[in-house]
Chains A and B, each alone.
Chain A
Amino acid sequence: MADTIARDRSLTARHVGGVYGRALVAQIRAITEYPADFWVMASAGVMWNLLQFAFLTVLFATVPDVAGWSYHEMLLLSGLLSVAAGSTALLCDGVWSTGQMVLKGEIDYRMTRPAPVVVQVATTHIGMQGFGEVAFGLVMAVYGWIGAGLGLAAAPVGVLALVCAVVIECALVTAFCAVNFWIKGPMSNFAFMLIDLQNSAMTMPLGLFPSGVRIVTMFVVPVAFVNFVPVAVLTGHLSGWWLVGTPLAALAALLAAVGVFRLGLRSYDSAGH
């Protein structure tokens, strides 16, 4: 019996993985039909990061540090956030359409298909800016890594931080977009505010802000674990023990996203034609 359950679960996971992969490949095929759009979007992703790089370079030509953080440490901070944000665009950009689908009743037929609704919604789109964000984000992160004097010995921590950052970011965006199950509207305003405020505040050392901001970003909406905590641990601003919180935050964010989306589906009552 236990074997059957285990086999069923693995088949289910393989099936879901297959659906997810095929849907993303279909989206990539669609992208190649519109090369001008691809290049404009990818360039936009690169441009924001290039200008963040320029901002830090210009700033640090005048000041030696920001709240004790050096130029390369802050590049690492921005680079990791950029890779995480770009990954959400590549892996689950469709969740931004949750509000539209709820309004138009487009969740209906996705509920009848043999695959999780959240997977189907997440794969309805790919954010082409993600290619540029991930690519230039990695450039910034690697440049910051080398400049901050981090060697290959710290690479496993870096990989763990990267994986957890992507999971936390995808989970938080999914959860915040799922708010539209209750607060109806075509725009994912809560997720949009989360991303925008994260881009403003989390590219800065948390020491600049009042303690309330630190508590919220670490323990309420754990965006600090996307980039600030792992980079602070790597560069010695925080004790190594804080690193334990990163996978825990990823797990908590993932469970929260699944939970919020499931609750949303329960309260979903279609468009009422």
Chain B
Amino acid sequence: MSHAFAVDRAFATVAFKRRLAYKTQWMVALVLGGGAMLVSMAMWRYLLADGALSGYDWDSMRAYIIIGFITATVVFGAADWNIADRILDGHIAVDLTKPVDFQRARAAEYIGSMASTVPTVVVGVIGAWLLFDPPGPASPTAGVLTAASFVLVFPLAFGITYMTVLVCFWTKRYLGVMWLREALLSFFSGMMIPLAFMPSWLQAIAWALPFPHFTTTPAAIYLGHVDTAGALGLLAAEAAWAVGLWLGARLVFRRAVRKVTVHGG
């Protein structure tokens, strides 16, 4: 068991260091995430100048947008391309001969790469805090539970990403798959607009998907839109999605791996 964890740690560390080596990406991620955050702030400051809309006032919206920035930076900055490339260029044939579980090894690498976005998150959040002075969490318990929901974003993001990357067994490119996933995640997570603004039928669709746990769940807990029992329920749903996607991906992989194509020789 300890050997398996040592392998996980080694994969995560290598992925973390590899990502940290590309320091330009820190700047790019900060400009992109920071730019989107500033645009959102400008729009909502105008719209909420006269009072609250759909349960959000300017104070709570500032915190909401910063939470969206944190999860977007961590999720969109991870190294999903590395997994896709291994399938597309046939390296997976070599991986399958190794005495490590393919999914678990990719999970360790993916989470290592997510951790490498933390410096960007820290700089962005400090800047946003200084510029916009958002309110703190609704209570100390809400703060702790928000942190827990951020931690659960890591396995959840891997589950969704890995499941979609497996489509590469049937396609020759990954870009379109990634864009489709990112589009759905941006909208149904509430990053583009809080779910509370959506009609009830669209909210129902969103809550039937794993995406709201990327922004709506941590924001609802942080802002006190749910009580402690409600927050624990949301965290349980988030964890259930992470476990369900992990097991579901195993089933898909078993079928997908029969399609592996290795070019050249």
Using a CB–CB distance below 8 Å, which chain A residues touch chain B?
Answer: 34, 36-37, 40-45, 47-48, 51, 54-55, 58-59, 61-63, 66-67, 128-129, 185, 187, 189, 192-193, 196-197, 200-201, 204, 208-209
Chain B residues lying within 8 Å of A54, measured Cβ to Cβ, are 187, 202
Name the residue on B nearest A54 (C-beta): B187
B256 in the interface (beta carbon within 8 A): no
Assuming A59-B197, A128-B176, is B28 touching A189 (CB within 8 A)?
yes
Assuming A62-B53, A192-B28, A197-B35, is B177 touching A204 (CB within 8 A)?
no
Once A and B bind, how many residue pairs between them come within 8 Å at the CB atom? 98
Is B180's CB under 8 angstroms from A44's CB?
A: yes
Is A44's CB under 8 angstroms from B47's CB?
A: no
Chain A residues lying within 8 Å of B199, measured Cβ to Cβ, are 58, 61
Tell me the minimal C-beta distance from A46 to chain B in angstroms: 9
Tell me the minimal C-beta distance from B84 to chain A in angstroms: 12
Tell me the minimal C-beta distance from B11 to chain A in angstroms: 24
Is B193's CB under 8 angstroms from A44's CB?
A: no
Chain A residues lying within 8 Å of B31, measured Cβ to Cβ, are 193, 197
Is A36's CB under 8 angstroms from B187's CB?
A: no
Is A55's CB under 8 angstroms from B179's CB?
A: no
Name the residue on A nearest B184 (C-beta): A47
Chain A residues lying within 8 Å of B176, measured Cβ to Cβ, are 37, 40-44, 128-129
User: How far apart are the CA atoms of A158 and B222 in the complex, in Å?
Assistant: 46
User: How far apart are the CA atoms of A58 and B179 in the complex, in Å?
Assistant: 22
Given contacts A34-B171, A185-B24, 5 further A-B contacts (CB under 8 A): A55-B187, A55-B192, A63-B53, A193-B35, A209-B39
User: How far apart are the CA atoms of A61 and B184 in the complex, in Å?
Assistant: 21
Chain A residues lying within 8 Å of B53, measured Cβ to Cβ, are 62-63
Tell me the minimal C-beta distance from B75 to chain A in angstroms: 15
Chain B residues lying within 8 Å of A45, measured Cβ to Cβ, are 179
Chain A residues lying within 8 Å of B28, measured Cβ to Cβ, are 187, 189, 192-193
Assuming A66-B47, A189-B24, A208-B43, is B180 touching A58 (CB within 8 A)?
no
B42 in the interface (beta carbon within 8 A): yes
Is A51's CB under 8 angstroms from B192's CB?
A: yes
Tell me the minimal C-beta distance from B192 to chain A in angstroms: 5
Chain A residues lying within 8 Å of B179, measured Cβ to Cβ, are 41, 44-45, 47-48, 129
Tell me the minimal C-beta distance from B214 to chain A in angstroms: 15
B141 in the interface (beta carbon within 8 A): no
B170 in the interface (beta carbon within 8 A): yes
12 A-B interface contacts by CB (under 8 A): A41-B173, A44-B176, A44-B179, A47-B183, A58-B199, A128-B176, A129-B175, A187-B28, A192-B28, A193-B28, A193-B35, A196-B32
Assuming A37-B176, A43-B180, is B42 touching A193 (CB within 8 A)?
no
User: DSSP majority for the A interface?
Assistant: helix
Give per-residue flags for B98-125: 1 if the beta carbon is below 8 A from chain A beta carbons, else 0: 0000000000000000000000000000
B54 in the interface (beta carbon within 8 A): yes
Q: Count residues on chain B whose CB falls below 8 Å from chain A CBs.
A: 33
Tell me the minimal C-beta distance from A221 to chain B in angstroms: 13
User: How far apart are the CA atoms of A250 and B110 in the complex, in Å?
Assistant: 43
Is B171's CB under 8 angstroms from A66's CB?
A: no
Name the residue on B nearest A190 (C-beta): B28
B13 in the interface (beta carbon within 8 A): no
Chain B residues lying within 8 Å of A34, measured Cβ to Cβ, are 171-173
User: How far apart are the CA atoms of A27 and B167 in the complex, in Å?
Assistant: 23
Name the residue on A nearest B167 (C-beta): A40
Is B192's CB under 8 angstroms from A193's CB?
A: no
User: How far apart are the CA atoms of A193 and B25 in the complex, in Å?
Assistant: 11
Which residue in A37, A41, A200 is a CB contact (below 8 Å) of B36? A200
Give per-residue flags for B71-106: 1 if the beta carbon is below 8 A from chain A beta carbons, else 0: 000000000000000000000000000000000000
Tell me the minimal C-beta distance from A125 to chain B in angstroms: 11
Is B197's CB under 8 angstroms from A61's CB?
A: yes
Chain B residues lying within 8 Å of A187, measured Cβ to Cβ, are 24, 28
Is A48's CB under 8 angstroms from B183's CB?
A: yes
User: How far apart are the CA atoms of A40 and B28 in the complex, in Å?
Assistant: 26
Assuming A37-B173, A58-B198, A58-B202, is B39 touching A201 (CB within 8 A)?
yes
B5 in the interface (beta carbon within 8 A): no
Tell me the minimal C-beta distance from B81 to chain A in angstroms: 11
User: How far apart are the CA atoms of A204 and B158 in the complex, in Å?
Assistant: 32
B186 in the interface (beta carbon within 8 A): yes
Tell me the minimal C-beta distance from A39 to chain B in angstroms: 8
Is B54's CB under 8 angstroms from A197's CB?
A: no
